[in-house]
Amino acid sequence: MAFSVVETTRFRRDFEGIARRNRDVLHITWEVKGILSADPYNLSHQFKIKKLTDISFGDGQWRIRIKHYRIRYDISGKEVILHSIKPRKDAYH
């Protein structure tokens, strides 16, 4: 089952800010989009994906951890909505 991955304006703003300082984020984002288009619920248990508790839809109920970045997203039907990408130290403030 393939999911489409879409970016919110907030995600794009976060991404562009990080990309100015660290070009590795381009590769990381491509990798994450591939993972999330195939297995956003982590049914395979291969990825560092977690369903966050007490988080409302629209705030990124899911989190994927890749390298030292955290990407928050929601799942709506067959669509994965990326809300934010942040370095670990800034992800939970």
Nearest Cα to Cα of residue 14 among 37, 35, 22, 64: 22
The pLDDT assigned to 60 comes to: 80
The pLDDT assigned to 85 comes to: 92
Query: Which residue range is the domain that position 81 belongs to?
Result: 4-90
Q: What is the pLDDT along the chain (93 residues), one digit of tens a residue?
A: 699 999 999 999 999 999 988 888 888 899 999 999 999 999 999 999 999 888 778 778 999 998 889 999 999 999 999 999 988 767 655
Instruction: State the angle between helix axes of 9-21 and 24-38 in degrees (0 to 180), rounded to the nearest 10.
Output: 140
**Number of structural domains in the chain:** 1
Domain with residue 78: its CATH number is 3.30.2310.20
28/16 Cα distance (integer angstroms):
13
The pLDDT assigned to 43 comes to: 94
The pLDDT assigned to 25 comes to: 87
The pLDDT assigned to 58 comes to: 73
